């Protein structure tokens, strides 16, 4: 059980949040020699102005936040109402690592039949990082590939699904469109797997949005709680059992599932949810460490905190259902050290659409770097 640290009863956003434009350094080599221009920073923040805080956003009268939460940003929200109960730097942009596979999953569920058969090829096997174990000539249903993507965080299955969607550039375009439409405006994908790439970013707020949207899909809801599943072999290789790598599912009573992530540049990321006494809470954490408190313990403590939050307290924000329509200009924020400090475009009622189109062009220029992906041996190194 984590100790309890004192915290303010409320939080006010400072005038400039330096991590709200782009993830902090050091950059991954896969991001290329020239940083991409940052995404527009939304002002007011998506979900409510209090979520624009660089620090804690808590309702008046809230209990103290548990000690030992070292993640740079986190969000605790009611999964059903969308009320954000507490947050720290909710819109601070960080690299997502494999939590981005949630966005890949949403696109796949939108676009591909679950029973469509996909044949593995050599390019799937050659991807960097964690693999579920598909092989050249093996045949897999889309649902089986999603099992490998979500349970075992397979970058090989991410690549196979991207091929099936029309190729990596087309998949990234679809992912960007999906994120923009749902209001995940801190999110820019550079790879379908979450391995680092040019301009990649997300936020704790966006991860909570993505998980909430995914959990509404019955296929995802079932897969994310699946502990073991039979996976096909290929050639002379026999089939085998895939186990779910999610530590929350194994350790937290009432867990509904979750997704881990890790790269050297992103550090540790996590998003997951649980149910207790009829209430469902989602937590998202970005740029955390495994020491002194493991990420699963940090997530568990925030879940406990959310369940213990008195129901009568006012929310500090909300998880939106779609991109906000606003005539308020976005703000420009300085880039991270070593990066450009450019002016970002102003928004309009259709500003997020324009931004999405700009991003697609930017992604196309960065595809050359995708093959030089960050190595990701495990989403949660050292985890048993």
Span 269-280, pLDDT tens digits: 999 999 999 999
User: pLDDT at position 41, please?
Assistant: 94
H helix or E strand, kind and range, residue 318? strand 317-318
Which of helix, strand or coil describes residue 166? Answer: coil
From the list 53, 130, 147, 153, the catalytic residue is 153
**Cα distances (Å, whole numbers) of residue 49 to 54, 91, 297, 315:** 11, 11, 29, 12
- pLDDT, greater one: 8 or 112: 112
* Residue-range domains of the chain with CATH: 44-369 (3.40.710.10)
Distance CA 340, CA 384 (A): 41
Query: Is 384 one of the catalytic residues?
Result: no
User: pLDDT at position 325, please?
Assistant: 80
From the list 53, 101, 147, 332, the catalytic residue is 101
pLDDT tens digits along 281-321:
999 999 999 999 999 999 999 999 999 999 889 999 999 99
From the list 53, 98, 147, 193, the catalytic residue is 98
The pTM score is: 0.84
User: pLDDT at position 326, please?
Assistant: 62
Strands of 236-362, DSSP E: 240-243, 255-263, 267-276, 279-288, 317-318
Query: Is 378 one of the catalytic residues?
Result: no
Helix (H), strand (E), coil (C) string for 235-256: CCECCEEEECCCHHHHHCCCEE
pLDDT tens digits along 357-376:
444 444 444 433 333 333 34
> Among 1-5, 19-23, 121-125, 161-165, where is mean pLDDT lowest?
1-5
Vertex 226 angle, CA 80 and 182, to 5°: 40
Q: Is the pLDDT of residue 233 over 60?
A: yes
Where does the pLDDT of residue 380 fall: very low under 50, low under 70, confident under 90, or very high at 90 and above? low
Q: How many CA atoms lie within 13 A of 116 on its CB side?
A: 16
User: pLDDT at position 180, please?
Assistant: 98
User: Nearest to residue 254, comparing CAs of 277, 276, 222, 280?
Assistant: 276
- pLDDT, greater one: 95 or 36: 95
Report the percent of the chain where pLDDT is more than 70. Answer: 80
Cβ atoms within 10 Å of 146's Cβ, excluding its own: 24
Residues in the chain: 384
Query: Is 153 one of the catalytic residues?
Result: yes
pLDDT tens digits along 67-81:
999 999 999 999 999
Distance CA 318, CA 323 (A): 12
Q: What is the mean pLDDT of the chain?
A: 86
> Among 46-50, 140-144, 328-332, where is mean pLDDT lowest?
328-332
User: pLDDT at position 311, please?
Assistant: 85
């Amino acid at each position: 059980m984590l100790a309890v640290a004192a915290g303010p009863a409320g939080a006010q956003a400072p005038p400039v949040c330096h991590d709200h434009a782009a993830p902090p350094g050091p950059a991954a080599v896969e991001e290329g020699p020239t940083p991409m221009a940052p995404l527009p920073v939304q002002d007011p923040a998506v979900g409510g102005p209090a979520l624009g805080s660089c620090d804690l956003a808590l309702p008046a009268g809230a209990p103290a936040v548990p000690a030992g939460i070292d993640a740079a940003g986190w969000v605790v929200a009611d999964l059903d109402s969308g009320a954000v109960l507490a947050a720290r730097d909710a819109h601070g942009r960080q690299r997502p690592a494999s939590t981005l596979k949630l966005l890949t999953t949403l696109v796949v569920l939108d676009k591909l039949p679950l029973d469509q058969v996909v044949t593995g090829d050599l390019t799937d096997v050659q991807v960097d990082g964690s693999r579920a174990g598909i092989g050249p000539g093996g045949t897999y249903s889309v649902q089986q590939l999603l099992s490998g993507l979500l349970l075992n965080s397979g970058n090989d299955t991410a690549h196979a699904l991207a091929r099936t969607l029309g190729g990596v550039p087309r998949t990234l375009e679809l992912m960007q469109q999906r994120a923009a439409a749902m209001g995940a405006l801190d999110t820019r994908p550079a790879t379908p797997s979450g391995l680092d790439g040019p301009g990649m970013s997300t936020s704790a707020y966006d991860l909570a949005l993505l998980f909430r949207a995914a959990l509404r899909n019955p296929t995802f809801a079932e897969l994310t709680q699946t502990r073991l599943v039979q996976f096909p072999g290929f050639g002379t290789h026999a089939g085998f059992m895939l186990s779910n790598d999610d530590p929350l599912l194994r350790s937290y009573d009432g867990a509904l599932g979750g997704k881990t992530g890790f790269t050297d540049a992103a550090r540790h990321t996590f998003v997951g949810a649980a149910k207790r006494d009829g209430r469902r809470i989602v937590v998202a954490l970005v740029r955390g460490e495994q020491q002194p408190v493991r990420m699963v313990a940090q997530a568990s403590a925030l879940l406990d905190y959310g369940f213990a939050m008195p129901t009568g307290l006012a929310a500090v924000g909300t998880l939106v259902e779609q991109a906000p329509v606003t005539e308020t200009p976005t703000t420009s924020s300085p880039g991270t050290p070593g990066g450009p400090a450019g002016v970002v475009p102003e928004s309009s009622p259709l500003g997020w659409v324009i931004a999405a189109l700009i991003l697609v062009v930017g992604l196309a220029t960065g595809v050359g770097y995708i093959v030089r992906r960050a190595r990701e041996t495990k989403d949660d190194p050292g985890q048993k």
